[in-house]
Amino acid sequence: MKLSQFKFNLPESLVANNPAEERDEARLMVLHKDSGKIEHKIFKDVLGYFDDKDVMILNNTKVFPARLYGNKEKTGATIEVFLLRELNKELRLWDVLVDPARKIRVGNKLYFGDDDLLVAEVVDNTTSRGRTIRFLFEGSDEEFRKNVEILGETPLPKYIKRKATAEDKERYQTIFAKHEGAVAAPTAGLHFSRELMKRLELKGVDFAEVTLHVGLGTFRTVEVEDLTKHKMDSEQFIIEQKDANIVNRALENKKRICAVGTTSMRAIESAVSANRTLKAANDWTSKFIFPPYDFSIANSMITNFHTPESTLLMMVSAFGGYENVMNAYEVAVKEKYKFYSYGDAMLII
């Protein structure tokens, strides 16, 4: 398929700048992939589509406050440093993006916080905006992370045209987040409230957890018309044996298995055994899913509404059927559904 087949017109007014009042009260579009039928619901209505021993697969990655603002030595210029991933815990080496990049060279020192709570030195150039930096910090790892927590800002996506607030610290995080490592939230999971999860549990729905640390590569613009030539960035994922067992039991019993979000879907599709069951894994994936694609594990999916021409929209189209999904997006625009991270949700069954 071609990149241009995933274009659609999205009015600026439909980009969600704030979350729904209550997590589980965002709107929910239900798309039936066999018939293309569409229903309009509220997110907590997902309860009606799942039964005893069905499984929901959740990504339990935790977003860390990845956006820091520092000052360059000598000039005092303000520099935004976006922490992408820790390369070496002992040496405190990090892969980062810097802005404005033209001002930052190898050997430069950066100071963070009024009393220079953290200081970093640039040790390498990786891409035009990418750098490797080393934090010059003598304390324990726990103290270092505490300082990042104090100085860092919730890494809201750039299209949200406002500063991150205290509310974002809570709302740009799923309630089941456990393992720190993501620079963006697995947004489909943001719609789950404690009450809704309790009600699903009481109905007999099982939860399996996977960890995929969402990197910025998920949102990298596709710049080639021929999709087979696009390369995804690698992201780390972990699937424990006990969670694989929960999923495989449901597979065996032909139950509904729902991947909550494109990140959960990518993790499970990166760990399929030869006999098409889910296996435990601790690995990196750069899997790029676009139509046509034969899915092995999940038979339903919850996802948000994504950007035109994004790899996320391509995966959703592979799962729900290209015509079905592009038609559903047309309906979503007409019905004024909210798009992106803080936007509304879609259930594909």
Out of 213-217, 228-232, 312-316, the most confident range is: 312-316
Percent of the chain whose predicted confidence (pLDDT) is above 70:
100
Tokens 């990786």 found at: 126
**pLDDT exceeds cutoff 90 at 76:** no
The amino acid at residue 222 is V
Residue 128 burial class via C-beta count within 10 angstroms: exposed 0-12, middle 13-18, buried 19 and up: exposed
pLDDT, tens digit, for every residue of 302-342?
Answer: 999 999 999 999 999 999 999 999 999 999 999 999 999 99
Greatest alpha-carbon span in the chain: 66
On average, the pLDDT of the chain sits at 94
pLDDT band per the 50, 70, 90 thresholds, residue 40 = very high
Q: pLDDT tens, 55-68?
A: 999 999 999 999 99
In terms of Cβ atoms closer than 10 Å to its own Cβ (0-12, 13-18, 19+), residue 172 is buried
Residue of 287, 347, 275 whose CA lies nearest to 316: 347
Q: In this predicted structure, which of 128-132, 133-137, 244-248, 267-271 has the lowest mean pLDDT?
A: 128-132
Domains and CATH numbers, the chain: 3-63+170-348 (3.40.1780.10), 67-153 (2.40.10.240)
| Gap between the Cα atoms of 120 and 98, Å rounded | 12
Mean predicted confidence (pLDDT) in 214-219: 79
Q: Do residues 244 and 278 lie in contact, with contact meaning Cβ atoms separated by under 8 Å?
A: yes
Nearest to 103 by CA among 84, 82, 83, 131: 131
CB 308 within 8 A of CB 10: yes
Whole-prediction pTM value? 0.92
Integer Cα distance of 199 and 207 in angstroms: 12
101-142 pLDDT per residue, tens: 888 989 999 999 988 889 999 999 887 788 999 999 988 989
